[in-house]
Amino acid sequence: MRIRLTQVTTGIICLLLMLPVNTGCRRTEQAGSKPPLVKTKSGIEMVAIPGGWFEMGSQKGGSDEMPVHKVWISPFLMDVYEVMQDQFRKYQLPDPSHFKNPEYPLEQINWTDATLYCNERSLAEGFEPCYDEETWDCNFAANGYRLPTEAEWEYACRAGTITEYSFGNNKAKLRTYGWYVDNSSGKTHPGGQKQPNPWGLYDMHGNVVEWCNDLYAGNYYSQSPEKNPRGPKEGKERVLRGGSWKSSAETCRSAYRSSDPSIDDTCLASDAIGFRCVRNAPDNVSSEPKMNSEKQTQNTAKTGLVYDDIYIEHKTTPGHPECPERLVRIIKQLKAGGLYSQLVELKPAPADRHWIETVHAPEYIDRARSSCENGAGYLDSGDVPISLKSYEAAVMAAGGVLTAIDAVMEQKVTNAFCAVRPPGHHSLENRAMGFCIFNNVAIGTRYIQEKHNLPKILIVDWDVHHGNGTQAAFYDDPNVLYFSVHQYPFYPGSGSDAEQGSGKGLQTNINVPLPAGSGDESYVKAFEDKLTPAASSFAPDFVLVSAGFDAHEGDLLGGMRVTEQGFAKLTQIAKSIAEKCCAGRLVSVLEGGYGLEGLAASVEAHIRVLMQ
Ligand SMILES: [Zn+2]
């Protein structure tokens, strides 16, 4: 059966009246912050979906959901609800639905009829139709309505989440978010009765399964392009997404793929098949991913703070610059500035030894423990003074980073700052160095990769010293981009721009050595000219910051002239990269910073930007 619609509204040219939409920002919105709504002249509400990167697929699903891969989606508008029967009837079209009710979603619709509706709606609102009604080819350059690509659909469904459903991993909660076999009473339901996803889209899980534009291929993910994939060129069936009133909870997952005719366990009878429309975002929005540091929309990010009193118990020698007072002053400043109460307190747990061993040799870990507990004055070298509780503090410092990473991954917070001691970026696999015992950021890197299955990590290190330990840990690893800007020549001696990585990791180690006396301008220039483009092509899954503040103009050890405003700007750039590439996932970890006043003020400026 095919419904011909073209004569109905041809010639009616209306301009679409749109509410002002801020689509100029290309950040990936966070779960919890809703993108703006747009209302078409015919009264249909659409969500202005921002462009961004996301991870498509699932490692827990069927083989056709793998590999999980990174995809860029350009901005687009998507219907808040499935196309409802009254919307369809506006064009005087025979309603094919089984469960007749103007407020119920349209169903029993085949793919070509869904595309014809898209064309009619485009004409009625003065847009260029996307579909050729002879070949059914889709003109993606047209400004009219079309079915979403499969990637657009999953991106919109996930809404910044990486869990199995847009509300998390708990299947039992599906009752709150969708109509499926366990709660539908064997029929469809009006839109808007269940909770929407974080971007304000309803019924992305259940009610009616939805047509996508793409042809279906089970192996498509292993060959699909990174930017705006549009499905394989050849295929017999079209993709259906989102599960229906007949589906099991499993088949309502964000990544679940099905096609028509379906013989799998989705039970996709035709009275479970509907659709919703999308159209490209207005022309003033770039369709290509760009990295920039433009001002972000004012979505308030939740920022976590890791701190524990054990960090104060790591005592160094009297007069040593890496002193407990550093953290005391930081916390005091955050309280005085009113920030402390706005941060999400993250209580750290000690790092499991397994995670420390991803970076450090077992015998070194044993030596660190016995040296501290036996009351040795220092570990390995005179510049790593230790005390009885130093081992416990070091394990908790690494653990604090892991706690922050978990909080970001669980979306308790968008990003986090770890006010930890001892610092980490000089420590090597089997040796303490430069006030550092365990390499907190390197351990965090391995943790994200192994525990959370996110392979590509960007480490931004703006401590005034070169992070030789971190560089060594990942020197031949193509999945870790280490970027360090530092005073040079200076302690520890490494960090020339000729050190670019080795083997498969060649080009994934970027050093920007700067002469003593460099200030905000040189640092920002290094970030804009070198970090931003490299990060853009690397496309990290997570950003870690080795945040040392010893490049501050008032520091006791460093010879640089960076100000609090400079650190704020560097933070903004790093945060912007995280927003563009990985839904804002960023954990910042204290390294150096020895002028107490400048340190505390810089940390405050840093956190203020993270919170924006
Ligand atoms: Zn330092």
Q: Given its phi and psi angles, is residue 428 left (phi above 0), alpha (psi -120 to 50 degrees) or beta?
A: beta
Report percent pLDDT > 90 for the chain: 77
- Mean pLDDT, range 87-108, rounded to an integer: 88
383-430 residue pLDDT tens? 999 999 999 999 999 999 999 999 999 989 999 999 999 999 999 999
DSSP type of residue 573: H
DSSP string covering 194-221: S---TTS---SSSSSEEEEEEEP-TTGG
CB 239 within 8 A of CB 212: yes
Q: How confident is the model at residue 259 (pLDDT cuts 50, 70, 90)?
A: confident
pLDDT at 288 over 50: no
pLDDT for 338: 86
Active-site entry in 205, 426, 466, 486: 426
Q: Which two structure tokens, joined as six digits, stand for 404? A: 């922050």
Distance 491 CA to ligand 1 centre (A): 9
- Residue linked to tokens 């700067």: 514
- Mean pLDDT, range 450-475, rounded to an integer: 96
pLDDT for 80: 97
Distance 336 CA to ligand 1 centre (A): 26
pLDDT at 21 over 70: no
pLDDT at 336 over 70: yes
50-85 residue pLDDT tens? 888 889 999 888 999 999 998 999 999 999 999 999
Distance 370 CA to ligand 1 centre (A): 26
pLDDT at 286 over 50: no
367-379 residue pLDDT tens? 999 999 999 999 9
Of 14, 37, 4, residue with least CA distance to 122: 14
Q: Which two structure tokens, joined as six digits, stand for 113? A: 């009829």
Distance 427 CA to ligand 1 centre (A): 12
pLDDT for 270: 83
Of 75, 276, 262, 271, residue with least CA distance to 186: 271
CB 282 within 8 A of CB 68: no
- Ligand 1 being an ion, which residues bring their Cβ within 5 A of it? 463, 465, 548, 550, 592
Q: What are phi and psi of 549, to 5 degrees?
A: -115, 25
Of 111, 45, 54, 16, residue with least CA distance to 583: 54
Q: How confident is the model at residue 451 (pLDDT cuts 50, 70, 90)?
A: very high
Distance 19 CA to ligand 1 centre (A): 50
pLDDT at 264 over 60: no
Beta-strand (E) ranges in 225-321?
A: 238-241, 257-259, 273-274, 278-280, 303-306
531-569 residue pLDDT tens? 999 999 999 999 999 999 999 999 999 999 999 999 999
For residues 388 and 373, what is the distance between their CA atoms, to the nearest angstrom? 5
pLDDT at 10 over 50: no
For residues 404 and 417, what is the distance between their CA atoms, to the nearest angstrom? 8
561-592 residue pLDDT tens? 999 999 999 999 999 999 999 989 999 999 99
CB 477 within 8 A of CB 503: no
Distance 536 CA to ligand 1 centre (A): 27
Largest CA distance in the chain: 89
pLDDT for 35: 86
pLDDT averaged over the chain? Answer: 89
pLDDT for 2: 36
Highest mean pLDDT among 108-112, 229-233, 264-268: 229-233
Distance 470 CA to ligand 1 centre (A): 13
Distance 275 CA to ligand 1 centre (A): 56
pLDDT for 41: 81
- Mean pLDDT, range 347-375, rounded to an integer: 97
CB 75 within 8 A of CB 63: no
Report which residue type is found at 176. T
pLDDT for 83: 96
Distance 325 CA to ligand 1 centre (A): 16
pLDDT at 16 over 90: no
- Mean pLDDT, range 522-526, rounded to an integer: 98
Chain centroid to Cα 286, Å, comes to 20
487-505 residue pLDDT tens? 999 999 999 999 999 999 9
For residues 212 and 204, what is the distance between their CA atoms, to the nearest angstrom? 13
Q: How confident is the model at residue 300 (pLDDT cuts 50, 70, 90)?
A: low
Active site residue 426: yes
pLDDT at 28 over 90: no
